[in-house]
Copies of this chain bind each other. A is one copy, B any other.
């Protein structure tokens, strides 16, 4: 459950520490981390030193607390631009948002979780990182299920074993088996629903973004509330959403990359 448990030599461990700080969600002192971590004092200390020196962490000298460093913000800017679907999907999402008038999400898979990389809000304009970068569960969100449905067996297996299957609402699928059946239906149908499985009153239709070879690279969803509409009404948009997904996929396929002349 925790962030612990991987192993990739020294680098892996260091990144582990980074995650620990991220997970804490607030500046933490050395001793806080020491309590959490499996590493001995000296080792942990060295990692913190290194990461701080590298700008991945910052040490507030007044309070002696560590927090994630700004270098990450810079890296993420690049990551978001160069390897998320967001930049190239933007115009299509704008269009879709305008047509539907509902909230649009663009998500990708990250370590068994759904990572939202962009969002169009009907009402107010996008808030910076506050929406991009958020993570959510895969087994009980529209985009999550849409992606799971098209994962190869072995990958699916791996992801499923990581899910918590926490029951959020009466509609949440609580076990891998129940979910698997649903996934088959989704694969067949080409789109997934969220029937208030994550939050009461929130429903959505989600569509996977697939490469020509059938690899999932992301998903988009149109979300609304039970007060405003019904799943049937939303489903009527499904073909429109699939079209958008297809266009994004096509773009992604062609768009890598403008060519280069070698140095």
Chain B residues whose C-beta falls within 8 Å of the C-beta of A258 in the assembled complex: 26
**CB-based nearest B residue for A213:** B62
Min CB distance, A142 to chain B, in Å?
19
**A84 contacts the other chain (CB 8 A):** yes
Distance between A234 CB and nearest chain B CB, rounded to angstroms: 26
Contact B73 A115 (CB under 8 A): yes
Residues of B within 8 A of A84 (CB): 70, 73
A75 at the interface (CB under 8 A from B): yes
A233 at the interface (CB under 8 A from B): no
Contacts of A65 in B (CB 8 A): 256
Note all chain B residues with C-beta closer than 8 A to A149: none
| Contact A132/B83 with A9-B10, A11-B50, A78-B68 known, Cβ cut-off 8 Å | no
Q: Total interface residues on A, using CB and 8 Å?
A: 72
**A19 CA / B109 CA spacing, docked (Å):** 23
Assuming the contacts A10-B10, A11-B47, asked whether A82 and B68 have C-beta atoms less than 8 A apart, the reply is yes
Main secondary structure, interface of A, reads mixed
Closest to A54 in B: B15
Q: Tell yes or no: A12 within 8 A of B by CB.
A: yes
Chain B hits for A10, CB < 8 A: 9-11
Q: Encode contact with B along A18-45: 1 for CB under 8 Å, 0 otherwise.
A: 1100100111000000010000000000
Binary B-proximity of A70-104 (CB < 8 A = 1, otherwise 0): 11111111111111101000000000000000000
Chain B residues, Cβ within 8 Å of A81:
25, 129-130
Which B residue sits closest to A18, measured CB to CB?
B75
Is A172 on the interface with B (CB-CB < 8 A)?
Answer: no
Question: Taking the nearest CB of chain B, how far is it from the CB of A257, in angstroms?
Answer: 5
**Contact partner of A54 among B12, B117, B211, CB < 8 A?**
B12
Known: A70-B79, A73-B115, A126-B128. 14 other contacts (CB 8 A): A6-B54, A22-B79, A22-B82, A55-B111, A60-B256, A62-B213, A65-B256, A68-B82, A70-B108, A72-B72, A74-B135, A76-B76, A80-B133, A118-B128
22 contacts between A and B (CB under 8 A): A6-B54, A8-B50, A10-B10, A11-B51, A12-B50, A12-B54, A25-B81, A26-B256, A67-B82, A68-B78, A69-B83, A70-B109, A71-B111, A72-B76, A73-B79, A73-B133, A74-B135, A76-B129, A78-B133, A126-B126, A128-B128, A129-B132
Q: List 10 A-B pairs, minimum CB-CB distance, nearest first.
A: A77-B133, A76-B76, A68-B79, A67-B83, A125-B125, A72-B79, A22-B78, A80-B129, A11-B14, A70-B110
